[in-house]
Amino acid sequence: MILTLDIGNTQLSGGVFSEGKIALTFRCATTKGTSSDELGIFLRSVLRENGIASKEITDIAICSVVPSLNYAITSACVKYFGIEPLMIRSGIKTGLKLRYSNPREIGADRIAAAIGASFLKLGSHIIVVDMGTATTVDVITKENEYFGGAILPGINMMMHALSSGTAQLPSVEIVEPEKACGSSTVTAIQSGLYWGTLGSIRELISRFTKEVFKGEKPVVIATGGFSNLFKDSGIFDRVESQLVLDGLRIALELNK
């Protein structure tokens, strides 16, 4: 079995694959300063509670955008599983042609998502929208060229910025509003968050299609924690909630 870990700024998401298929997913809050023992005990307990023995894990792949946790999670894998994990970073085999001015700057989660998208074998250009702490919109051509994309604040980050940066605006539940024109402060914020995010993504898709794909329509894939909120918006061709974890599994196969 393969253990895959996506360490984000807000959450750690994990998955276990058996014979190429996802058998278990789990997540917990990301806590900076967590020790290797805490991480190792957590991982083993999650597996145990789901009927998976730690000795059944044969490989581990990790993408992390929290550098302060990289040493701890690597040490946890070695101590509690006896496995040196594959860390997604510049220089590993990805199956992608990185058309980026400095590939070392690309977030590991963006690379993992791009790997997962490219191996869907869709035969077309792809735009991946990963909706987590930040929202990333990335471009992959049908020739598996990764051109980069855009990064904007995630919808939850926008909400916290409003509530923490103003004297009178409250935190609100993040939902799809019934109408665009809010009739209260709460519904006005919800409208701004939802339709503002949707409008930003739609504009980026339009510009990338013209700029990179020369007008050829791409397949637009959504992933990440907030992707289901927009699944019926009409801008996504498909929602692949485990795209990053799939990309990590594929990266392991490419680097054996």
Domains of the chain, by residue range, sit at: 2-89, 121-239
- Each residue's pLDDT, cut to its tens digit, for the chain (256 residues) gives 999 999 998 889 999 999 989 999 999 888 888 899 999 999 999 999 999 999 999 999 999 999 999 999 999 999 999 999 999 988 899 999 999 889 888 999 999 999 999 999 899 999 999 999 899 999 999 999 999 999 999 999 999 999 999 999 999 999 999 999 999 999 999 999 999 999 999 999 999 999 999 999 999 999 998 999 998 899 999 999 899 999 999 999 999 8
Asked if domains 2-89 and 121-239 share a fold, the reply is yes
* CB 154, CB 227: distance < 8 Å: no
Does 121-239 carry CATH code 1.10.3720.10? no
In whole angstroms, what is the distance from residue 151 CA to residue 90 CA?
A: 19
In whole angstroms, what is the distance from residue 131 CA to residue 168 CA?
A: 27
Assess whether 109 carries a catalytic annotation. yes
* CB 135, CB 201: distance < 8 Å: yes
Q: Out of 109, 130, 138, 246, which one is annotated catalytic?
A: 109
Helix (H) or strand (E) holding 14: strand 11-18
CATH of the domain spanning 2-89, picked from 3.40.50.1390, 3.30.420.40, 3.40.50.300, 3.40.190.10: 3.30.420.40
SS3 label, residue 74? helix
Chain centroid offset of residue 207 CA: 22
The length of the chain in residues reads 256
Work out the number of other CB atoms within 10 angstroms of the CB of residue 233: 15
In whole angstroms, what is the distance from residue 233 CA to residue 188 CA?
A: 19
**Which residues, including other chains, have CB under 8 Å from residue 101's CB and lie 6 or more apart?**
none
Instruction: Record the pTM.
Output: 0.91
